[in-house]
Amino acid sequence: MHKKLFHVTGSLLLALIIVTNIQAQPSAPVADDFLPKDYLTKDFHAGRRDAARQMMPENSVMVVFAYPTRTFSNDVEYLYHQNPDMYYFSGYKEPHSVLLIFKDEQKDSLGNTYKEMLFVQKRNAQAEQWTGRRLGTEGAKEKLGIPMSFNGEDFANMNIEFSKFDKIIFDRFPDDVPNGFGKADLHDLIEQFKEKSKMPEKPGSDKRFDNRLYRDLTAQLREIKTPEEMSLIRKAVEISCRGQNEVMRTVHPDMSELEIQGLHEYVHKRYGAEEVGYGSIVGAGENGCILHYMENTKTKVGTSMILMDVGAEYHGYTADVTRTVPVDGKFSDEERTIYQLVYDAQEAAFKTLKDGSTWSDASKAAQDIIADGLLKLGIIKNRADVRKYYPHGLGHHIGLDVHDRGTYQKLKKDMVITIEPGIYIPEGSDCDKKWWSIAVRIEDDALITENGYELLSHFAPRKIEDIEKMIAEKSVLDNYKLPPLESGKKKGF
């Protein structure tokens, strides 16, 4: 891949910004008939901005920056992933941008009123040939429904009187914002914001600048899912479960962890999921005891259990589903005992879930089951030692982030959470060797309802007998065969 040499340069005079913005410029890309039809609509994003305004204090402005681009290797960048807040409030997916949401209507020099401003990447035919189409200002106006959309380079000359606001609400800036993409890159936009708002160098010295309010406000909004969001989350969860099912049907001892990861992610993409919501965790045997194991480099998984924590991301929304299954098709006595204990703990947690219950209610129910079970099996000597083998929390919100924004207080109707108890007994643990290298996590996604919960991830089996039954089934992937690689063979001439 060639190094990108094309950068947006130049700046318009403030007097020309509003006038010339309506003049002819490259039109937004024509919609492709074969693109997905179930993206969030501009009405959804407008509704989220209105919801934020209702929660914002009087005479305030909220400022949302895009996430930075990040280098993968030399001059190659990682596939860009937008700041979920920017996407949530605008629908804009490109870097080098900033969104302003005003509590009250504002007026420009021509007397036009507006409640938000979006500054985006400028259209650039040469750059777009290399890195993809850009919406530009006209695209942002039409497709995102934000009339006051400008090129990023206009931000420097835009007369925004931040001094008049009682509160300036914004998130902490990322630590890894690169500088060098030219004028109006994210680095410049942040620096211009600091200058325009006269932000003090010492955090907290001016109470008008509020990071905590930003986090609290966005957490309260994003933890409650709308019907539009639920449609995408349901699809992400079902796709993840379908991946788990096909791997259960296909898995055998000669597979590698990477191959199993690839099968999961192939199924995801076959159903239209663009990405995984986090690094796929595929840990066989002892590797399952590493909570965030992502190397997935074991060349043969063997006959032990395999822990598969893999979640599809569909149109920005991620699932988070974990299944632990015996590669040879049958749980051993020890595996069955530990698995059933985790299953019972998950069931106990499920029973606490409803509108108004708390995270601690569910956590205590699960931990009590695991502590009592490990004590009875002689794996621990007192209940306080349970954290040696169950070292993580019970769950978290999911949505635009796999660990989604939330207040983590009482559970409320229309929250989507994970319930994921686990037991991990590494080799060398202070217990009978027959338990060593057993790792079990069962993770499911649940929608909180008024009187209980809906198990969204019911598509993938959880019970021991159902898992063993599915492993015995045939898979549509069973007959795929790849020829052996020949790169290691020497060729004679």
pLDDT, one tens digit per residue, over 258-294 is 999 999 999 999 999 999 999 999 999 999 999 999 9
Query: 């690094």: which residue's tokens?
Result: 279
- The whole-number pLDDT of residue 204 equals 80
CA 258 from centre of chain: 22
Tens-place pLDDT, residues 1-29? 443 333 333 333 333 343 444 344 555 55
Q: Give whole-number Cα distances, 9 to 15, 185, 369, in Å.
A: 19, 10, 62
Tokens of 160: 């925004």
pTM of the model: 0.91
* Residue 202 reports pLDDT greater than 90: no
Tokens of 428: 């060398």
Distance CA 406, CA 183 (A): 35
Does the CA dihedral 71-72-76-77 come out positive or negative? Answer: negative
Distance CA 446, CA 3 (A): 45
- The whole-number pLDDT of residue 493 equals 56
* Residue 466 reports pLDDT greater than 60: yes
What domains are defined for the chain? Answer: 14-222 (3.40.350.10), 227-471 (3.90.230.10)
Q: Mean pLDDT throughout 222-241?
A: 98
* Residue 368 reports pLDDT greater than 90: yes
Percent of the chain predicted with pLDDT > 70: 92
Dihedral pair phi/psi, residue 433, rounded to 5°: -60, -20
- The whole-number pLDDT of residue 181 equals 67
The DSSP string of 401-447 is SSS-----SB--TT-EEEE--EEEE-TT-SS-GGGTTEEEE-BEEEE
Average pLDDT, the chain: 92
- The whole-number pLDDT of residue 492 equals 64
Dihedral pair phi/psi, residue 263, rounded to 5°: -65, -45
The answer to whether the CB of 361 falls within 8 A of the CB of 395 is: no
Contacts of 480 (CB under 8 A, 6+ apart): none
By CB neighbour count within 10 A (0-12 exposed, 13-18 middle, 19+ buried), where does 5 fall? Answer: exposed
Tens-place pLDDT, residues 140-183? 999 999 999 999 999 999 989 999 999 999 999 998 898 876 67
- The whole-number pLDDT of residue 26 equals 52
Q: Mean pLDDT throughout 199-220?
A: 92
- The whole-number pLDDT of residue 111 equals 86
Q: Mean pLDDT throughout 378-397?
A: 97
**Bigger pLDDT: 126 or 108?**
126
User: Kind of pairing, strands 422-425 and 453-455?
Assistant: unpaired
* Residue 227 reports pLDDT greater than 60: yes
Dihedral pair phi/psi, residue 439, rounded to 5°: -135, 125
Q: Mean pLDDT throughout 314-343?
A: 98
